């Protein structure tokens, strides 16, 4: 029987983007009466995106406004130290739920409270690692050694360590001496898996529409999309961005050939990409100080991208996770390591005009994605880990 599972973390569990979608999909079929969600971040899940029938609680962060000021690093550092002690609000949010195990995600600081609570109640805890925590974040540089020690102790003491990529598991084993298990992002267990390629690949006259799906989490990501729009403009190309980006937040996206379509549910997104798009864009430029995450964090959007049946264009360093994925599975994407607009334009023209290349890339991505990101594979692995190690 699956354990009574208490989730405590900053990452909302909802049907939206990134780690939130990964968690939502993994827990979608979990027994409702054996699960409680306690979200501890500044952002919480929206009711219409939540797991149906599951008890959700939200413990808001303190000093939220100060995190958007010049004091952000000091505030985050204080929050990190404070999170090692379970607050009264978190204790209250867990009342009435007799947990067998704790699940958390090593983003932000809420996971520290989850580990502290698990230790206090002698419960096994399971770490999901999507991004580099010890070497990232907005804490003071003077605390870097402390962060490494905190993470190392928690990582070694976990009942399981679920890493989003093999590179992350290998890197953490070298640093902490303990093996982690790879748990790739997965497709929704109830979402539609398309059998064939996008009908646009067979159309007599193909369009020149490129799409990016996801959030503009860093200025580097915004710049990557701006460069793409500039590269395809002389070719008659358009860039459609599906996600929460707005021109007000990112004025550089106010380009004649950029269209912002907002955030769509995953099934609606895949359908829109199949019907309206010719090439899928995956930039892996996260910005200064994020090189470790570019290398270790596997892009969750590949779960849906590979279901679309279109060619994928990757832009990133040679050691970024998406480039490594292509080397491990040759032919799943066209990869460009240069940020120069002429280099990007040359590749895009090749994809626009070479039907055989576009079809070959799409077929390979679809075949590999159907195997790697199958919902049943991820769910069974996750359930097996919880059952045997809780």
CATH number, domain of 126, equals 3.40.50.2000
Q: Cα separations (Å) of 251 from 222, 246, 247, 258, 264?
A: 10, 8, 5, 12, 22
Residues 271 and 381 in one domain: no
Statement to judge: residues 72 and 179 lie in one domain: yes
What percentage of the chain has pLDDT greater than the value 70? 91
At residue 177, the pLDDT reads 97
Tokens 């502290």 identify what position?
A: 116
Asked if residue 234 belongs to a domain, the reply is yes
Whether 270 and 385 share a structural domain: no
Range name among 71-80, 188-197, 268-277 with the lowest pLDDT average: 71-80
Quote the CA–CA distance of 101 and 98 in Å, as a whole number: 9
Q: Does residue 353 fall inside a structural domain? A: yes
Residues 204 and 353 in one domain: yes
Place of tokens 């070959």: 360
Q: What is the pLDDT of residue 139?
A: 57
Residue 157's pLDDT is: 97
CA distance 390 to 388: 6
Provide the pLDDT for residue 170. Answer: 95
Both structure tokens of 368: 């590999």
Greatest mean pLDDT among 16-20, 129-133, 157-161, 288-292 lies in 157-161
Query: Are 26 and 376 in contact, with CB atoms under 8 Å apart?
Result: no
What would the two tokens of residue 346 be?
Answer: 């040359």
Domain of residue 158 covers 5-186+374-389
**Which residue, 40, 76, 47, is CA-closest to 61?**
40
Q: Do the domain assignments include residue 119?
A: yes
Instruction: Please tell me which of 17-21, 71-75, 107-111, 345-349 the model is most confident about, judged by mean pLDDT.
Output: 345-349
In a domain, 66, yes or no: yes
Q: Is there a single domain that holds both residue 379 and residue 364? A: no
C-alpha 88 chain-centroid distance = 30
**Is residue 194 one of the residues assigned to a domain?**
no
Distance CA 51, CA 15 (A): 8
Q: Exposure of 384 by Cβ count < 10 A (0-12 exposed, 13-18 middle, 19+ buried)?
A: exposed
Shortest CA distance to 365 belongs to which of 312, 292, 286? 312
- 10 and 105 in a single domain? The answer is yes
The top-scoring range by mean pLDDT among 10-19, 83-92, 139-148, 378-387 is 378-387
Q: Tell me what pLDDT residue 76 has.
A: 67
| pLDDT band per the 50, 70, 90 thresholds, residue 205 | low
What is the arithmetic mean of pLDDT over 337-357? 96
Neighbours of 262 (CB within 10 A): 10
Of 47-61, 78-92, 245-259, 299-313, the one with minimum mean pLDDT is 78-92
> At residue 80, does pLDDT exceed 80?
no
**Mean pLDDT, residues 194-199 taken together:** 93
Mark whether 359 and 253 lie in a shared domain. yes
Rounded to an integer, the average pLDDT of 118-146 is 83
Task: Say whether both 240 and 151 belong to one domain.
Answer: no
Neighbouring-strand partners of residue 281:
313
Is residue 252, in this structure, part of any structural domain at all?
yes
Q: Exposed/middle/buried for 374, CB within 10 Å: 0-12, 13-18, 19+?
A: middle
Give the chain's mean pLDDT: 91
Please say if the pLDDT value at position 138 is more than 60: no
pLDDT, residue 74, reads: 60
Statement: residue 67 has pLDDT above 70: no
- Tell me, yes or no, whether 242 and 177 share the same domain: no
**Confidence class for position 108, pLDDT limits 50, 70, 90:** confident
Whether 148 and 226 share a structural domain = no
**65 and 102 share a domain?**
yes
Residue pair 285/279 in contact (Cβ under 8 Å)? The answer is no
Confidence label for 337 from pLDDT (cuts 50, 70 and 90):
very high
Q: What pLDDT, on a 0 to 100 scale, did the predictor assign at position 16?
A: 87
Instruction: Give φ, ψ of 134 to 5 degrees.
Output: -60, -40
Asked if 360 and 380 sit in the same domain, the reply is no
In a domain, 110, yes or no: yes
Q: DSSP label at 292? A: H
For residue 68, tell me if it sits in a domain.
Answer: yes
Ranked by mean pLDDT, the top range of 60-69, 216-225, 229-238 is: 229-238
Q: Is the pLDDT of residue 140 over 70?
A: no
Residue 62 pLDDT class (50, 70, 90 cuts): low
Distance in angstroms between the alpha carbons of the first and the last residue of the chain = 11
CB proximity list for 142: less than 8 A, separation 6 or greater: none
Residue 372 has pLDDT above 90, yes or no: yes
pLDDT tens for residues 148-174? 999 999 999 999 999 999 999 999 999
Number of domains in the chain: 2
């Amino acid at each position: 029987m699956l354990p009574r599972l208490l989730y405590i973390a900053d990452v909302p569990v909802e049907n939206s983007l990134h780690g939130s979608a990964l968690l939502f999909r993994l827990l979608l079929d979990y027994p409702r009466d054996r699960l409680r969600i306690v979200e501890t971040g500044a952002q919480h899940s929206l009711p219409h995106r939540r797991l149906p029938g599951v008890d959700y609680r939200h413990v808001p962060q303190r000093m939220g406004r100060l995190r958007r000021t010049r004091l952000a690093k000091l505030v985050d550092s204080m929050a990190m130290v404070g999170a090692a002690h379970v607050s009264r609000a978190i204790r209250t949010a867990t009342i009435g739920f007799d947990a067998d195990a704790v699940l958390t995600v090593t983003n932000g600081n809420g996971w520290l409270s989850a580990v502290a609570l698990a230790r206090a109640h002698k419960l096994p805890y399971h770490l999901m690692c999507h991004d580099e925590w010890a070497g990232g974040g907005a804490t003071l540089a003077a605390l870097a050694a402390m962060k490494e020690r905190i993470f190392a102790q928690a990582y070694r003491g976990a009942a399981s360590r679920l890493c989003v990529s093999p590179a992350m598991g290998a890197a953490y084993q070298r640093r902490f001496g303990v093996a982690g298990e790879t748990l790739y992002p997965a497709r929704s267990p109830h979402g539609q898996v398309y059998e064939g390629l996008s009908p646009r690949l067979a159309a007599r006259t193909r369009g020149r529409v490129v799409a990016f799906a996801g959030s503009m989490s860093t200025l580097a990501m915004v710049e990557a999309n701006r460069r793409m729009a500039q590269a395809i403009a002389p070719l008659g190309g358009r860039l459609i961005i599906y996600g929460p980006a707005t021109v007000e937040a990112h004025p550089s996206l106010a380009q004649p050939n950029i269209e912002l379509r907002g955030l769509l549910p995953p099934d609606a997104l895949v359908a829109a990409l199949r019907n309206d798009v010719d090439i899928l864009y995956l930039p892996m430029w996260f910005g200064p100080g994020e090189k470790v995450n570019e290398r270790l964090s596997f892009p969750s959007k590949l779960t849906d991208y590979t279901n679309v049946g279109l060619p994928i264009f990757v832009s990133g360093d040679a050691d970024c996770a998406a480039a490594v994925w292509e080397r491990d599975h040759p032919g799943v994407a066209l990869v460009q390591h240069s940020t120069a607009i002429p280099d990007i334009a040359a590749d895009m023209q090749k994809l626009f005009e070479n039907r055989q290349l576009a079809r070959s890339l799409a077929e390979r991505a679809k075949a590999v994605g159907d195997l790697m990101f199958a919902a049943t594979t991820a769910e069974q692995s996750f359930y097996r880990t919880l059952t045997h190690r809780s």
